[in-house]
């Protein structure tokens, strides 16, 4: 029997084929997202709310079909590629007149509100962690709860995203 050897070109072709299918699916969902956002804005519904509903429905559909195991969450992709446009869009869509007329209110919520939120979330996570609510499944904890440093860092991280969304 004659054995067929795979070459580097065969591997490259398979990778390009998989990436091609992924890009077609991604493009399709981006077109659907744009259509849903435009349609929602025409009905005076925030496009972000429509995007959340669409994403939830697609997530449920992927789970029911079993395709959710194919997708993984990449933190670097989220932090470096997906999050900056959300933050910059909020800044670009804000009118300067509206921003400066509400500056005192914004600063009141942004600075003391963020500090209060950091404190409340940090205390809650630290207390819940000391009670053993954040196990990793193998008997250990997800964070180090010997000192409150990590829970308060988590609280600061989560609280710092709220002021950018308020803008």
Q: Which residue has the higher pLDDT, 162 or 87?
A: 87
pLDDT for 123 equals 92
Q: What is the mean pLDDT of residues 134-158?
A: 78
Q: Which residue has the higher pLDDT, 112 or 69?
A: 112
Whole-Å CA distances, 89 to 40, 81, 99, 105: 17, 13, 15, 21
Whole-Å CA distances, 127 to 38, 121, 132: 44, 10, 9
pLDDT for 109 equals 79
Q: What is the mean pLDDT of residues 143-150?
A: 81
pLDDT for 163 equals 53
pLDDT for 10 equals 65
> Is residue 119's pLDDT more than 90?
yes
Structure-block tokens of residue 153: 């860092």
> Is residue 53's pLDDT more than 80?
yes
């Amino acid at each position: 029997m004659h054995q067929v050897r795979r070459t580097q070109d065969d591997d490259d072709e398979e990778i390009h084929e998989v990436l091609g299918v992924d890009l077609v699916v991604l493009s399709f969902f981006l077109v659907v997202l744009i259509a849903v956002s435009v349609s929602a804005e025409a009905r005076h519904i925030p496009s972000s709310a429509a995007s959340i509903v669409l994403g939830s429905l697609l997530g449920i559909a992927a789970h029911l079909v079993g395709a959710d195991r194919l997708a993984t969450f990449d933190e670097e992709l989220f932090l470096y590629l997906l999050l900056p446009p959300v933050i910059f869009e909020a800044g670009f869509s804000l009118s300067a007149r509206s921003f400066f007329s509400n500056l005192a209110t914004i600063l009141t919520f942004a600075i003391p509100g963020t500090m209060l939120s950091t404190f409340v979330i940090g205390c809650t996570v630290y207390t819940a962690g000391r009670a053993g609510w954040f196990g990793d499944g193998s008997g250990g904890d997800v964070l180090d709860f010997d000192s409150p440093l990590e829970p308060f860092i988590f609280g600061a991280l989560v609280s710092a995203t709220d002021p950018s969304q308020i803008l």
